[in-house]
Chains A and B, each alone.
Chain A
Amino acid sequence: MSMSAGEEAAKRRRVRDGWLLSAPALLLLTLAAAGPLLVVLVYSFLTPGQYGGVVWEFSTDAWVGILFTRDIFTETMQLADAHLAIFWRSVRLSLLTTLITFAVGFPTAWFIATRPPKARALWLFLITIPFWTNLLIRTFAINEVIRNEGILNSVLMAAGIIATPIQILYTDTAVLIGMAYVYLPLMVLPLFAAIDRFDMRLLEAGYDLYANRWQVLRRIVLPIVKPGIVAGSILVFVPSLGAYVTPRVLGGGKQMMIGNFIELQFGQGRNWPLGASLSMLLLLIVLAALLVYVRAAGKGGAHGQ
């Protein structure tokens, strides 16, 4: 396909504008996020300092140390099953959190988007108001709700649903509840932004063609709001992976997630290079997952080019 000179110039202009418009964001990120990460990459190839920090001596120990640890009793190298267990728990809990927030967040976003236009802003604010309180305070408040003498157990017992309090606090369920709570708006807001521009007349058209509600939902609604689903899932899944406060407060801190494990290396573990290599690995995994996901989503999504 050949392009006329005019079309080509227009395309060039579009690309140039694209870069220019993105420049402020890129500059900020280079200064205060991605740029400094190069330091972390360099650190992952250095030797741990005696009391934290690094010594400027090249070493690949930190990378080897992710998968293999020296068994402290036999001095032989062994697969680091503790590290793998921590990684796996983080991935599993983050996936579940994403699913839960979607299952709850999609109907909620839909509900908000189908309110009269004036009321929508109000409902949106109602979603974000609880998040005006600080994360730690909110986590403590959830703690109050789910503990054995808390509201949840009291209500369930008063209603005769359970006879004795359920131990929720300090379990994986508590971590899931906490993370789903914390990350719910990150799912609802992008979903709302996507649903809100959905033309509701399409639904009637669907029903006119004798589709039932589920068919309408699956064939008409989901494909169109897909960009919102992608955005929401990324915003929930990725920060969940690095969650730190919730597993500590609601999980009772008995089991680590990746975030806690990496923080341990930079803190009391005094092994900054291992912390750095673990972070880089996490970055690579997330990056790969993200690219695959975006590609897949892009293929099926409706793009109004």
Chain B
Amino acid sequence: MKRLITATALLLASSSLASAEGVLNLYNWGNYTSPELLAKFEKDTGIKVSVTDYDSNTTALAKIEAGGAGFDLVVPSANYVGIFRDKGLLTELDLSKLPNHKNIAADWMDVDWDPGRAYSVPWLWGSTGVGVNTSVYKGDINTSAIWLDVPDELKGKVNVTPEMNDVVALATMYAGGEFCTEDVEVLKKTRDILMAAKPHWMSMDYGMEDKMATNDVAASVYWNGAILRARLKNPDVAYGYPKEGFILWMDSIALLKDAQNVENAYTFINYILEPEHAAMLSAFARYSNGVAGSEEFMPEDMKDAPEVVVPEEFKAAGHFLPACSPKAQEYITAIWTELQK
């Protein structure tokens, strides 16, 4: 009861509290921030983190650009970090306030979207591939044919994640092209492949952690962390890395230009670059982090998980999605609209 009263009091005071001492406003993807980490952070530093959720990069961008919402930190995906920066919404990080900046793993330091990590530091990263129930389908799962040239066993049992860019990108790579292409022949082939495959899909939905585990869905284009969680509930579930090309993604945390709790924000960023704390983020969300030395703190069931450790033979097939030109984006939207008409 006491907690409820406190919660109500906090709520009514929320506007005045927003810029008071000892608080920090994090704007992040829903269900993505480890509560254990936040509790530990509050205990260690006395700073209370208030997390507000978003469910897409575009919503986050639109809200931050409009301004006035009072956020300090945001966690955009790789292709959006550059957009946030180019629009002047981010503050260049003062590295003297981030002694742990050196902990960023070498692979994730000089990334295309933020060379030298001047504006953002790694939050979590993962891949988009295919989850397959191997009791239903025994064939090769490391291919996009699972959902683009659906095997008979899987017909009518396939789910495709409702993410426009991911889906069109995977299909484009299956068609032999590159994402963001403006090559009309490739685009046409991509569209035809998708249109031919769609009648064999059951749904285009989220929530696969459960549905794959219960075998309501036998295969799905989905994120590795969710498939890992499905596999822990149902050992028949396996994760495939399409050899024609699969998607790598990373969300990075960045400091907003109109942040009001800048010092606290630096404290938080530095805190999550501590290997032990980065591992806490991973343990909660089930995705990899980008901090060197975090391996020893990782939960046992993730250390060698095939969903987490990308096998050597497939490494070259993983691609980060760039932000497309407006023209390429128009093509992608047209294909997607056609697909869902």
For B83, what are the chain A residues with a Cβ–Cβ distance below 8 Å?
51
Closest A residue to B182 by CB, please name it.
Answer: A72
Which chain A residues (73-120) contact chain B, with CB distance < 8 Å?
A: 73, 81-83, 85-86
For B205, what are the chain A residues with a Cβ–Cβ distance below 8 Å?
248-249, 252-253
A253-268: CB near B (< 8 Å → 1, else 0) gives 1111000110011111
Interchain CA distance A51-B87 in the complex, whole Å: 10
Q: Which of A82, A248, A268, A269 contacts B341 (CB 8 A)?
A: A82
B96-126: CB near A (< 8 Å → 1, else 0) gives 0000000000000000000000000000000
Q: Which of A81, A82, A83, A253 contacts B203 (CB 8 A)?
A: A253
In the complex, B187 has a CB within 8 A of chain A: yes
Interface core residue of A72, A83, A85 (most chain B CB under 10 Å)? A72
Closest B residue to A85 by CB, please name it.
Answer: B341
Known: A86-B337, A147-B216, A266-B58. 14 other contacts (CB 8 A): A72-B188, A72-B331, A73-B187, A82-B337, A252-B205, A253-B203, A253-B205, A256-B337, A256-B341, A261-B337, A267-B58, A268-B56, A268-B336, A270-B58
Number of A residues with CB within 8 Å of any CB on chain B: 34
In the complex, B95 has a CB within 8 A of chain A: no
B317-330: CB near A (< 8 Å → 1, else 0) gives 00000010010011
In the complex, A53 has a CB within 8 A of chain B: yes
CB distance from B67 to the nearest CB of A (A): 12
In the complex, B184 has a CB within 8 A of chain A: yes
B27-58: CB near A (< 8 Å → 1, else 0) gives 00000000000000000000000000000101
In the complex, B302 has a CB within 8 A of chain A: no
For B164, what are the chain A residues with a Cβ–Cβ distance below 8 Å?
264, 268-269
Residues of B that sit less than 8 Å from A by CB: 56, 58-59, 61-62, 65, 83, 87, 162-165, 184, 187-188, 198, 201-205, 216, 323, 326, 329-331, 333-338, 340-341
For A83, what are the chain B residues with a Cβ–Cβ distance below 8 Å?
337, 341
For A271, what are the chain B residues with a Cβ–Cβ distance below 8 Å?
330, 333
* Cross-chain contact A252 with B202 (CB below 8 angstroms): yes
* Cross-chain contact A268 with B333 (CB below 8 angstroms): yes
* Cross-chain contact B203 with A50 (CB below 8 angstroms): no
CB distance from A158 to the nearest CB of B (A): 20
In the complex, A52 has a CB within 8 A of chain B: yes
CB distance from A78 to the nearest CB of B (A): 11
Interchain CA distance A52-B164 in the complex, whole Å: 15
Interface core residue of B163, B165, B326, B331 (most chain A CB under 10 Å)? B326
10 A-B interface contacts by CB (under 8 A): A51-B61, A53-B62, A72-B330, A72-B335, A81-B341, A148-B216, A149-B216, A253-B162, A254-B198, A256-B340
In the complex, A48 has a CB within 8 A of chain B: yes
For B162, what are the chain A residues with a Cβ–Cβ distance below 8 Å?
248, 253
For B188, what are the chain A residues with a Cβ–Cβ distance below 8 Å?
72-73
* Cross-chain contact A267 with B187 (CB below 8 angstroms): no
CB distance from A139 to the nearest CB of B (A): 11
For B59, what are the chain A residues with a Cβ–Cβ distance below 8 Å?
267
In the complex, A154 has a CB within 8 A of chain B: no
CB distance from A164 to the nearest CB of B (A): 14
* Cross-chain contact B326 with A86 (CB below 8 angstroms): no
For B337, what are the chain A residues with a Cβ–Cβ distance below 8 Å?
82-83, 86, 256, 261, 264
Given known pairs A69-B334, A147-B216, A264-B336, the reply for A255 and B58 (CB within 8 Å) is no
Closest B residue to A148 by CB, please name it.
Answer: B216
For A261, what are the chain B residues with a Cβ–Cβ distance below 8 Å?
337
In the complex, A170 has a CB within 8 A of chain B: yes
For A51, what are the chain B residues with a Cβ–Cβ distance below 8 Å?
61, 83, 87, 323
For B326, what are the chain A residues with a Cβ–Cβ distance below 8 Å?
48, 50, 270
Q: Which of A252, A260, A269 contacts B333 (CB 8 A)?
A: A269
Interchain CA distance A81-B331 in the complex, whole Å: 16
Interface core residue of A73, A260, A269 (most chain B CB under 10 Å)? A269
Closest B residue to A252 by CB, please name it.
Answer: B203
* Cross-chain contact A264 with B62 (CB below 8 angstroms): no
CB distance from A151 to the nearest CB of B (A): 15
For B187, what are the chain A residues with a Cβ–Cβ distance below 8 Å?
72-73
Interchain CA distance A296-B61 in the complex, whole Å: 46
A46-58: CB near B (< 8 Å → 1, else 0) gives 0010111100000
For A72, what are the chain B residues with a Cβ–Cβ distance below 8 Å?
184, 187-188, 330-331, 334-335
CB distance from A116 to the nearest CB of B (A): 38
For B341, what are the chain A residues with a Cβ–Cβ distance below 8 Å?
81-83, 85-86, 255-256
